[in-house]
Amino acid sequence: MPARILVVDDEVAIRRLLRHTLERAGYAVVEAGTARDALSGAAAEHPVAVLLDLGLPDRDGLTLIPLLRRNGEVPVLIVSARDATEEKVAALDLGADDFVTKPFDTDELLARLRAALRHRDAGNTAQKTLHKADLTIDLDRRIVRRGTEPLHLTRKEHDVLAILARHPGRVVTHDRIIAAAWGGDDDPRIEYLRIVIRNLRQKLEPPGPVGSLIANELGVGYRLLVDP
């Protein structure tokens, strides 16, 4: 039986589109048009993930996130036309796994969903080893290799890479990265993070467009793009 996805959106056209897309990708779809339906649907149908629109008729989708998360560790993906960074950060802080801004690219939506589900399948125990093309990231031993050649990273670079690698394919907010890597410092600042990310990219990313390994999520955080 295919995994069920709960689609919460007040627009029928969007629900129909998402149903089409998700069913094509092999999921089953449960629809909800209101927050109330969403909560009862989540309780009754045990979806593996929720795609949640923030602009619902009966209440703000943001307030729904903690309620949905209460029914076990179901990943919540925000699919919304709201693009203010503060709202994205708020959604992530409230426990959403990721977000996709309308109008969205269906391939991108599916990729985000897969990443969220992978994370759920892996439980909270992060993958030990990640790959991207010929790059290998060994989290436990703090070793990064291109092919067989080890690459030298500074301690901070390792710290930042580690927190991103614990959530592969998913956005990690600036605050969380800074807290993880500079938590003990007196004056952790975002420019440190920018410089470390730049250095990591220079060391790890192949020539070509910037951000092929560490993607920037505007004003929100970073996302590590690794092979599944």
Partner 1 sequence: MTDGNHSRPDPDALLRQAAQEGKGRLKIFLGAAPGVGKTFEMLSEGAARRRDGVDVVIGVVETHGRAETAALTRGQEIVPRRDVPYDGRILSEMDIDAVLARAPRLALVDELAHTNAPGSRHPKRYQDVEELLAAGIDVYATLNIQHVESLNDIVASFTRVRVRETVPDRILELAEIEVVDIPPDELIERLKAGKVYLPHEATRALGHFFSKSNLSALRELALRRAAQAVDAQMLDHVRALGVGGTWAGTDRIVVAINELPGADGLVRAGKRVSDGLHAPWTALFIETPRTAHFNDAQHRRVAEAMTLATQLGAAVATVPAASVVDGIRGFLTTARATQLVVGKSRRSRWFELLHGSVVDRLVRDTPGVTVHVLPLDARPAASEPRQRRGAGWGTPSGYAITLLLVGLVTAVGSALFHILDLGNVALLYLLPVMVAASLFGLRTGLFAGLASSLAYNFFFLPPVGTLSVSNPENVISIFVLLGVAVATSQLTARVRAQADLAAASARTNATLAGFLRQLSAVNDPSEAARLICEDVARLFDVQAVLLAPLVGPGLAVQAASTPDYRLDTMDMAAANWASDTGTPAGKGSGTLAASEWLFNPVRAGGRTLAVLGVARDNGEPIRADQVPLLSSLIDQSVLVLERLRLEMEMRDVDAVRTRDRLRAALLSSVSHDLRTPLTAVIAAADELGHGATPELIGTIRNEAARLNRFVANLLDMARVEAGALKLNVEPTDLADAVAGAAHDARRALEGHAVQLDVPPDLPLVLVDPQLFHHCLLNLLDNAGRYGDPGTAILVAGRHVYGEIRLSVCDHGPGLPPGREGEVFETFHRLEGSDRAAGGTGLGLAIVKAFAEAMGMTVEAGNRPDEPGAAFTLVFPTALIVRAVASDAV
DSSP 3-state of 211: coil
- Number of CB atoms found within 10 A of residue 179's CB: 13
Q: Measured from the CB of residue 199, what is the shortest distance to partner 1 in angstroms? A: 7
Separation CA 221–CA 217 (nearest Å): 5
Binding flag, residue 209, partner 1 (CB under 8 A): yes
Separation CA 8–CA 51 (nearest Å): 6
Contacting range for partner 1; rule: CB under 8 A; set: 31-39, 49-57, 67-75, 150-158: 150-158
Q: Measured from the CB of residue 218, what is the shortest distance to partner 1 in angstroms? A: 5
Separation CA 72–CA 140 (nearest Å): 28
Binding flag, residue 197, partner 1 (CB under 8 A): yes
What tokens appear for 6 in the block?
Answer: 């709960």
* Member of 44, 73, 195, 227 binding partner 1 (CB under 8 A): 195
Binding flag, residue 142, partner 1 (CB under 8 A): no
Residue 203 buriedness (CB in 10 A; 0-12 / 13-18 / 19+): middle
Binding flag, residue 202, partner 1 (CB under 8 A): yes
Binding flag, residue 196, partner 1 (CB under 8 A): yes
Question: In 63-148, which ranges are E strands?
Answer: 76-80, 98-101, 129-132, 135-138, 143-146
* Member of 23, 93, 107, 185 binding partner 1 (CB under 8 A): 185
Interacting residues with partner 1 between 59 and 118 (CB under 8 A): 84-85, 103
Contacting range for partner 1; rule: CB under 8 A; set: 46-54, 92-100, 112-120, 194-202: 194-202
CB burial of 66-93 (b: ≥16 within 10 Å; e: otherwise) equals eebbeeeebbbbbbbebeeeebbbebbe
* Member of 13, 184, 218, 228 binding partner 1 (CB under 8 A): 218
Greatest Cα pair distance in the chain: 56
* Member of 40, 63, 71, 154 binding partner 1 (CB under 8 A): 154
Binding flag, residue 176, partner 1 (CB under 8 A): no
Task: Give the residues lining the site for partner 1 (CB under 8 A).
Answer: 84-85, 103, 154, 156-157, 182, 185, 189-192, 194-199, 202, 209-211, 215-216, 218-219
